[in-house]
Amino acid sequence: MPSTANLSDVFKSLTSITAYRAQPTSPADTTTTAALARDAAVIPVTSATGIVAAEPFFLIGDAGTELNTVASIATTNVTPSRKVVIAQAIGARYLEAVAYSLGHIAEDSAQVGGSSSLNPIPAATSSVPIGYFNLGGALSFGFSLLGVNARSFALAFGQEELETGTGTSADPWQNLAGQTTVGTHSMLCFRALGVLKSGKFIEVDMLDCTTEVAADLNISGKSVRPIPVGGSCTGHIVRIWS
């Protein structure tokens, strides 16, 4: 049943933001064998090869991209941890994802937004517009990272997070930001988890994100300068539960 208004349901705190991208090595990559309605609790797929419980995945179709996690798998039927939100036609792509935490986020920096443009329809017979064309909407996201590491650098430059190394002096963690790799990341989603004043949990998915690269990383001085990450996305999904 729909939730009811509760004046105590105001945002209290952000718990985490996690980034998700396509599994870079031998991902489970298949398609659905049936159309999916909104609130579908089972996702039938062509092949279950490589699909395991607890792994995150993207569901990609003409209607949009959705982020989910495998609760269980039986033969070729995937039970997701969250019911499907975006209805999809048969043949939607199931693509295994990998997750990594973004660590601490700068205070008051995490946000999602949206806007749309209206074009007035003037008429010679009217002193005011007789209507408006909706030119479509745009969704945005943004947050600022406090952690300084190779992954943060990659995200700030809008490229694949392909960190290598073990963190020793002989084999440090490393990543490359090059002129030809800036702004070239593939499928990317984020999930923010927080708590409301009432004690309920809130989860906000930022889907199919494209980062707008405006990197300005401070590598000197004693002050902490957050690393901004932001851009556009094709959808937001909000979930709230007790």
Complete domains list, the chain, with CATH: 11-18+103-241 (no CATH), 22-97 (2.40.10)
- Nearest-5° Cα angle at 98, 201 to 25: 170
Q: H/E element holding 155?
A: helix 150-156
Question: What pLDDT sits at residue 8?
Answer: 65
Per-residue confidence (pLDDT) for residue 2, from 0 to 100: 60
Rg of the Cα trace of the chain?
A: 21
Distance (Å, rounded) from C-alpha 65 to C-alpha 55?
Answer: 17
Which amino acid belongs to residue 159? Q
Report how many helices (DSSP H) and strands (DSSP E) the chain contains, helices first.
1, 14
pTM score, whole prediction: 0.90
Work out the pLDDT band at 174, boundaries 50, 70, 90. Answer: confident
- The arithmetic mean of pLDDT across residues 3-24, rounded, is 84
Closest by Cα among 27, 227, 37, 23 to 142: 227
Give the per-residue pLDDT at 171: 96
- State how far the Cα of 186 lies from the Cα of 96, in Å rounded to an integer: 13
How far apart CA 164 and CA 173 sit, in angstroms, is: 5
Average pLDDT over residues 44-64: 97
Confidence of residue 84 (pLDDT cuts 50, 70, 90): very high
Q: Are the C-beta atoms of 48 and 133 separated by less than 8 Å?
A: no
